[in-house]
Structure 1
Amino acid sequence: MAASPYSDLDRPPLSARALTRALVVPGALWSKLDVRAETGSTNADAAEAARQGAAEGLVVVAESQVAGRGRRDRQWTSPPRAGLTLSVLLRPVAANAERGWAPAPIGSIGWLSLLAGVALREAVIRVAGVDAELKWPNDLLVDGRKCAGILAEVSGDAVVIGIGLNVSTRAEELPETTGVPATSLRVAGAEDFDRDPLLRALLRSLDRWYGGWREAGGDAEMCGLLGEYQRGCATVGRAVRVLLPGGGELTGEAVAVDRDGQLVIRTEDGAHLPVSAGDVLHVR
Structure 2
Amino acid sequence: MPDSRYSDLERPPLSEAALNRALVRPGSVWTGVTVVERTGSTNADLAALARQGTPQGAVLVAEEQLAGRGRLGRVWTAPPRSGLTVSVLLRPRPPVETQGWLPLLFGVAAASAVRRLAEVDVRLKWPNDLLVGERKLAGVLAERVEDAVVIGMGLNVSLRPDELPVETATSLAIQQGACLDRDPLLRAVLREVESHYRDWSEAAGDADRSGLRAAYQASSATIGREVRVELPGGRFLAGRASGIDHGGHLQVVAEGHRYTLSAGDVVHVRPGG
Residue 212 of structure 2 aligns with an amino acid whose one-letter code is L
Residue 91 of structure 2 aligns with an amino acid whose one-letter code is R
Q: How many equivalent residue pairs?
A: 269
CA displacement at 1:176 relative to structure 2: 2.2
Change (3 A) 1:29 1:4: farther
1:164 and 2:154 are equivalent in the alignment: yes
Any gaps of 5 or more consecutive residues in structure 1?
93-102
The 5 Å alignment of 1:32-111 reads 32-92=32-92, 103-111=93-101
1:203 and 2:190 are equivalent in the alignment: yes
CA displacement at 1:144 relative to structure 2: 1.9
Q: Distance in 1 between matches of 2:173 and 2:66?
A: 22
Kept in 1, the 8 Å contact 2:6–2:81? The answer is no
Within the candidate set 229, 250, 260, 1:263 is matched to 250
Residue 231 of structure 2 aligns with an amino acid whose one-letter code is L
Q: Distance in 1 between matches of 2:3 and 2:161?
A: 22
What's the counterpart of residue 242 of structure 1? 229
What's the counterpart of residue 26 of structure 1? 26
Offset from partner CA, 1:107-135 (integer Å, 9 cap, x none)? 01100000000000011001111111000
How many percent identity over aligned positions? 58
The 5 Å alignment of 1:167-178 reads 167-176=157-166
Change (3 A) 1:4 1:19: farther
CA displacement at 1:4 relative to structure 2: 10
SS at the partner of 1:152?
Answer: strand
What's the counterpart of residue 137 of structure 1? 127
CA displacement at 1:41 relative to structure 2: 0.2
Q: Which moved more, 1:2-11 or 1:54-63?
A: 2-11
Kept in 2, the 8 Å contact 1:5–1:13? The answer is no
RMSD: 1.5
Residue 150 of structure 2 aligns with an amino acid whose one-letter code is V
SS at the partner of 2:86?
Answer: strand
What's the counterpart of residue 183 of structure 1? 170
1:121 and 2:111 are equivalent in the alignment: yes
1:228 and 2:228 are equivalent in the alignment: no
Change (3 A) 1:242 1:19: same
Residue 161 of structure 2 aligns with an amino acid whose one-letter code is A
Q: Distance in 2 between matches of 1:82 and 1:6?
A: 8
Q: Distance in 1 between matches of 2:44 and 2:213?
A: 29
Q: Distance in 2 between matches of 1:210 and 1:3?
A: 41
Q: TM-score, normalised by structure 2?
A: 0.96
SS at the partner of 1:109?
Answer: helix
Q: Distance in 1 between matches of 2:125 and 2:180?
A: 22
Change (3 A) 1:217 1:77: same
CA displacement at 1:5 relative to structure 2: 11
1:254 and 2:241 are equivalent in the alignment: yes
Change (3 A) 1:4 1:282: closer
What's the counterpart of residue 268 of structure 2? 282
Kept in 2, the 8 Å contact 1:19–1:200? The answer is yes
Kept in 2, the 8 Å contact 1:5–1:12? The answer is no
The 5 Å alignment of 1:140-155 reads 140-155=130-145
Offset from partner CA, 1:69-101 (integer Å, 9 cap, x none)? 101110000100000001000011xxxxxxxxx
CA displacement at 1:3 relative to structure 2: 8.6
Q: Distance in 2 between matches of 1:271 and 1:20?
A: 50
CA displacement at 1:8 relative to structure 2: 4.4
Q: Which moved more, 1:2-11 or 1:108-117?
A: 2-11
Q: Distance in 1 between matches of 2:222 and 2:30?
A: 31
